[in-house]
Copies of this chain bind each other. A is one copy, B any other.
Amino acid sequence: MNSDASRRRDVTVADVARAAQVSKAQAARALGNYGAVSDDVRERVLAAAEELEYRPNELARSMNTGKSHTIGVVVGDIENPHFGLATRGITDTAKRSGFNVILINTDEDTEAEIDAVRVLLDKRVDGLIVAPASSVETQHLRRVHESGRPLVLLDRKASGLDVDTVAVDMEGISHDSTSYLIGAGHRRIAFVSTLKTGEPYRDGMVLDSSQISDRRDGMKRAFDEAGLDLPDDLIRLNAGDNESIRKITRELLQRPDPATAIIASDGLIGLSVVEAIQELGLRIPDDVSFLMYDDFAWTRLTTPPLTVIAQPVYDMGVAAAAALIRQIEGRKVPAAVPEFTAELIRRGSVAAPRVTGAGN
């Protein structure tokens, strides 16, 4: 009928108003569903809008409402199912409340994170959910918080930053699972984490990630309670790619006084550790016990199925989004973020350590 060529410009309220023979203001009111509009006008405007396939420009709308109905999510790596699931919880919840999600990956790099936060702020997101790469370098997050922009932290705390934080009680679960290993007879328990540090682990070292330092603390408490010393020499940081993790694993198991149990700090590391163990021809749990954080579905399929520490990741994503949206919508009630607890799921990868001559 009319101009069917792919015309460039979008249809605006002004166009609709003209077609409906009313003022721009009236058209805007009818379309935006606010103010007073007579039935007659509303009908004509809506009909014209339909006819012209009018779609509001959310950008323009955000301009003067100040709300973009968008939240920014900054995570280390969506490729990691842990974050994938959390992100799912966030997006599901956001969508339910009419919010969209802009996602940015940081590769656990603080510089990238600072940049991501800036970009998101420039885009005027209504709020931010961040899984901070560092619990120490947090000035950028502090600035966000001080500027009054809603902010919720996921997975890790930020030292000295009093914001809603959705995370499990890592110290507790770390303590419990370590005690479990100690109870099974293990003394040489290794812990492998990706946390990047300039130097290898040593006692008393300040760890950049609350998640990791809490776990270390939990392990230490468990050892203390058992009247034993935490084997500092078996705590390994800087586990990066598959290759480096396998190297670390080999080292842990082939040293003079080898680890009899290994705890992997996440599912991706766990994968490589198990691979390395298999490559060494060792058997789980006969030769070495294994336990990892993240209850990925595949852990049920290995032989033996793996004992893991399950975190309610999806629910945590939901809670983070809910808390953020609550802040955005300005409910005064802080309505404390629920506490989440991790759970030790005992499958088959932990057993008593192989008895060696040392015991005699």
Contact = CB atoms under 8 A, between A and B. Distances in A.
B63 A118 contact: no
A302 interface: yes
Interface in A98-128: 100-105, 118-119, 121-124
User: How many chain copies?
Assistant: 2
A18 B143 CA distance: 25
Interface stretch (A77-85, A193-201, A204-212, A213-221): A77-85
Contacts of A119: 100
Interface in A46-98: 55-60, 62-63, 68, 70, 77-81, 84-85, 87-88, 91-92, 95
A274 B301 CA distance: 7
Contacts of A62: 59
Given A6-B147, A301-B298, A63 B59 contact: yes
A102 B101 contact: yes
| Residue of A77, A100, A300 with most partner-chain B CB within 10 A | A100
Interface of A: 6, 8, 55-60, 62-63, 68, 70, 77-81, 84-85, 87-88, 91-92, 95, 100-105, 118-119, 121-124, 146-148, 268, 271, 274-275, 278, 296-298, 300-303
The 10 closest A-B pairs by CB, nearest first: A298-B298, A79-B88, A303-B303, A84-B84, A58-B122, A58-B123, A103-B103, A6-B148, A79-B84, A59-B124
